Structure 1
């Protein structure tokens, strides 16, 4: 994506807060005019005392000076307040939009992405875009307006100066920023990529810190982190050199413009085209008017990272999900536990081997079904197809007699309560983790679900009971405890179909027997599909389907 396209797309994001951006620009223009007004008033006062006619009396110039000085503070506040209000509001909107698309991409399109890289995009990259919203859009408009007004003033006093100064504005405000953006764009992109890779590596290292220590890999991981940090520093040094160059060139241009202003004003006085007062006004106004233009050139170095960050964000936002809602979805069937797999064939998009081939299965409401088979035979894949994480390459899956591809994803998944192999717990209270199954459940309902999962007594013995925190990724709990909380979560979700993927893999025989008895007796009106390698887990099922590895 080119820099122009990125800028246009970022500019479109401003539409919801365009009014606030207008106030920011108004404050910025007013602020720059107060600076110019203060300088002109100062020239007017000095020239008046020197006996040079400056159109106004000394007293009026003094009044103008104080008015401009007093307006400088409020106008600056107006610009900064609304500029950052716009930026942080838009960043919040972009985070929500990005998360919404990540939710649609999951899990199919997220399997091959690095978690740390995605986190870096969702947090660091979006934060980096703040520079564009708060420090780029308004300054560009302000620079254009102030430059045009300065040139109009020059033309009114002596048109020759306007013609001479115009190239300086164009070179400093347009040519240098465009040139620097094109030269340094790849460096900015490389820096964001390397930074995302480092964050991903750090997250992996933290998640696997116990295994790293146990297998003595700490020194190796530390060395790799040091190596990645060195590679990032090399790219960062390129960015710094580029930024220094970008800052030096506009300063050189501004210095040359001042020399030219003084030379041409002197020439104008020699030939009688402009007086001493007019020359003084031209010199101070033109010198000060380059300040917002210089700011634009200086931003071009920072915008390298901003555009690279925006490109990464837009790439995630634009990525199409593996499955999409139908254009005209049918009304999903509710409270129906009937399921049918008809001649299902499936291969993962990133693999060459067929995972499922010609699989058939039927289940009526209340049936207890089991999928068994070797690892990699497609048991969990069949569940993912039922949840429509992917669509089968061949055949169709019906729930309640309706093809799940013909209903919305929301209606489709509202039929299921899912317990995955690895129960994921949020860094929240145990009660809130259980209530993921039903956010509107009462405390009594949560307790009842915990009892069914044989975890109630354990929770009650914790210091804060159900208000105890599970820790990040459930780190304060054992694998069996996390799994039982996951089972409680499934019990709390009132759906016609329960999907259990290795539901008792982390449980002892006693707890397994008790939980399965509860599930099969108290939820006898629900269809339950269980995947397990344990014969004891599937012993109570009505039918068992074997899937063979291809």
Structure 2
């Protein structure tokens, strides 16, 4: 029963991983061939060397010994060449596949983001992308080749022992070989549980470390060093406990493997002495029989040693394929996007939305329209649904009911890449990559000329600052743009949107990190940018709200009010109460 369960579990791993071997199948085949030749050469070297020693002890002619030495040298050279070739081909295949898997993982995350990322810690996700994928190197570089060798080599060696020396020796080895093969089966359930706990523990520790690095300023500012270290120690303590348990099981398996192997060798020794004493085997074959018996067990013990870690590998495989096999959040419904109207508009038509079936509606029957050249501000308390509207427009999720139209077409009738190509985004929380300012700006338009980049930066009121830096546009901004202030990062994001020059502009309070002077200057650029294009603003500042052509007030996921600031502020309404509450000092 245990053997059946073990086999089923391991077959699941092999079935999942084998399709990824296709791109490097030639390297895999060559790795297996050279691996078998490497083992064969190693066995021939050891066995033939023992045979020569036995001949020398028994007084063989020096000429015969000298010829044998040259043969042995040739076998040693062959073994060295095959050992190198086996490692080369096995790791060439393994690392090529790992790189392929990481790319597939990232592409899978692109398809399921941002919904998948909402419930995932950065450290946990990076652990899957790096550590879990790296664990699969055991399979690709070592396990699949070793599995073939563990089956082929012992059979060949047993046949050689039976034919060349004596069949009794082969027969006495078979029971011990069988017991050695079955050892991993005995502990598989425990290995799977412990392996899963180790991968989860490693991911937890990794997440805590990433949290600590990203939040180091807050930890130091609030004097929470001891609190954070306690959390980290607790995570490490839990991981260490599972690792000790896992190591204990591995130790027992290793002891059993060595015991059965030693018992097999002892049996061969006893039988060999008996056969020689009774004249049934020549004395020069005694040492050879011991050497060959060792090599009957060696590949099996090697695969058994790897099998001890199958619990960790299975857990890593499950974590990787959980991401790879997760269904896309949204799918392209068409192969080619339907044509759009010349003058684009954005329309929310009775849109309702919930993130999951078991959760309540976040948006309820929301309807509004943004006409060509119009700026519409979405306002409301936190959680009213403003950001959800933006995410649905970009089709990070699909609406539950109703539809969103861009240029007269349902966004589901557009390919995702085409939809997002016609939208420029200026987020409130700007993410900059750890590269140069110029490279970050080129995200807006990859083939932009220097002149276009400088012009966009001037309009965003960031050019003068950039050229004042020692390396100008080639200045590295650091991870997440840490070298720049919040306002500077936001102006780079605005320059990036200006460079993209898409017909729809989506802004999440793009001036929130700017002082009054810079805000006024930048607003002029944004007003110029907004001409002849759709602008949808998630607004918090009163100055931004007042500049909009139309205001859509959201309350508890519904449209509570629509109009202009001058009209709605005079009435006792949701909008006027919102303004009085949040901007009383400014009105």
TM-score range normalised by the length of the shorter chain: over 0.9
Describe the SS at the equivalent of 1:357.
strand
- Give the CA deviation at 1:234: 0.7
Q: Does the CA contact (< 8 Å) of 1:371 and 1:544 recur in 2? A: yes
CA distance in 1, matches of 2:465, 2:53: 85
- Give the CA deviation at 1:57: 5.2
Deviations 1:61-117 (A, max 9, x none): 333212111212111111111121111111111110101111111112211111110
**1:167 and 2:198 correspond:** no
CA 1:415–1:254: 2 relative to 1, 3 Å: same
What does residue 432 of structure 1 align with?
439
CA distance in 2, matches of 1:125, 1:336: 49
- Give the CA deviation at 1:53: 9.7
Q: Does the CA contact (< 8 Å) of 2:172 and 2:264 recur in 1? A: no
Q: Give the alignment partner of residue 203 of structure 1, picking from 207, 210, 213.
A: 210
CA 1:395–1:249: 2 relative to 1, 3 Å: same
Q: Does the CA contact (< 8 Å) of 1:34 and 1:72 recur in 2? A: yes
CA 1:104–1:383: 2 relative to 1, 3 Å: same
Unmatched 5+ stretches in structure 2: 1-7, 558-587
- 1:209-248 equivalence runs, <5 A: 209-248=216-255
Deviations 1:31-76 (A, max 9, x none): 221222123322433454466999x954553332121112121111
Deviations 1:312-360 (A, max 9, x none): 1111111122211226454453865221110001122287343211111
Deviations 1:417-471 (A, max 9, x none): 1112201111111111111111211121111111111111111222211111211
Describe the SS at the equivalent of 2:187.
helix
- 1:35-434 equivalence runs, <5 A: 35-49=42-56, 58=65, 60-157=67-164, 158-172=166-180, 174-326=181-333, 328-331=335-338, 333=340, 336-349=343-356, 352-434=359-441
**1:511 and 2:551 correspond:** no
Q: Does the CA contact (< 8 Å) of 1:87 and 1:134 recur in 2? A: yes
Deviations 1:162-190 (A, max 9, x none): 23322322322x31123333321111110
What does residue 500 of structure 1 align with?
507
Q: Does the CA contact (< 8 Å) of 1:246 and 1:300 recur in 2? A: no
CA 1:135–1:318: 2 relative to 1, 3 Å: same
- Give the CA deviation at 1:4: 2.6
CA distance in 1, matches of 2:254, 2:437: 54
What does residue 444 of structure 1 align with?
451
CA distance in 2, matches of 1:92, 1:29: 27
Deviations 1:124-182 (A, max 9, x none): 1111221221121212212222101111112314333323322322322x311233333
Q: Does the CA contact (< 8 Å) of 1:332 and 1:411 recur in 2? A: no
Describe the SS at the equivalent of 2:552.
strand
CA distance in 1, matches of 2:449, 2:46: 69
Q: Does the CA contact (< 8 Å) of 1:343 and 1:396 recur in 2? A: yes
Q: Does the CA contact (< 8 Å) of 1:335 and 1:495 recur in 2? A: no
Between 1:426-435 and 1:60-69, the stretch displaced more is 60-69
CA distance in 1, matches of 2:373, 2:161: 86
Q: Does the CA contact (< 8 Å) of 1:344 and 1:392 recur in 2? A: yes
CA distance in 2, matches of 1:73, 1:378: 67
- Give the CA deviation at 1:507: 1.4
Describe the SS at the equivalent of 2:377.
strand
Describe the SS at the equivalent of 1:362.
strand
Deviations 1:363-397 (A, max 9, x none): 23222222112221111110110000111111001
Q: Does the CA contact (< 8 Å) of 1:416 and 1:498 recur in 2? A: yes
What does residue 547 of structure 2 align with?
540
Q: Give the alignment partner of residue 22 of structure 2, picking from 15, 18, 21.
A: 15
CA distance in 2, matches of 1:508, 1:63: 85
Between 1:505-514 and 1:486-495, the stretch displaced more is 505-514
Q: Does the CA contact (< 8 Å) of 2:157 and 2:295 recur in 1? A: no
CA distance in 1, matches of 2:344, 2:520: 24
Q: Does the CA contact (< 8 Å) of 1:345 and 1:392 recur in 2? A: yes
RMSD of Structure 2 on Structure 1 (CA): 2.2
Q: Does the CA contact (< 8 Å) of 2:194 and 2:245 recur in 1? A: yes
User: TM-score, structure 2 length as denominator?
Assistant: 0.88
User: TM-score, structure 1 length as denominator?
Assistant: 0.94
Between 1:514-523 and 1:304-313, the stretch displaced more is 514-523
CA distance in 2, matches of 1:213, 1:334: 54
Q: Does the CA contact (< 8 Å) of 1:37 and 1:64 recur in 2? A: no
Describe the SS at the equivalent of 1:376.
coil
Unmatched 5+ stretches in structure 1: none
Between 1:260-269 and 1:56-65, the stretch displaced more is 56-65
What does residue 538 of structure 2 align with?
531
CA 1:490–1:335: 2 relative to 1, 3 Å: farther
CA distance in 1, matches of 2:357, 2:116: 10
Describe the SS at the equivalent of 1:438.
coil
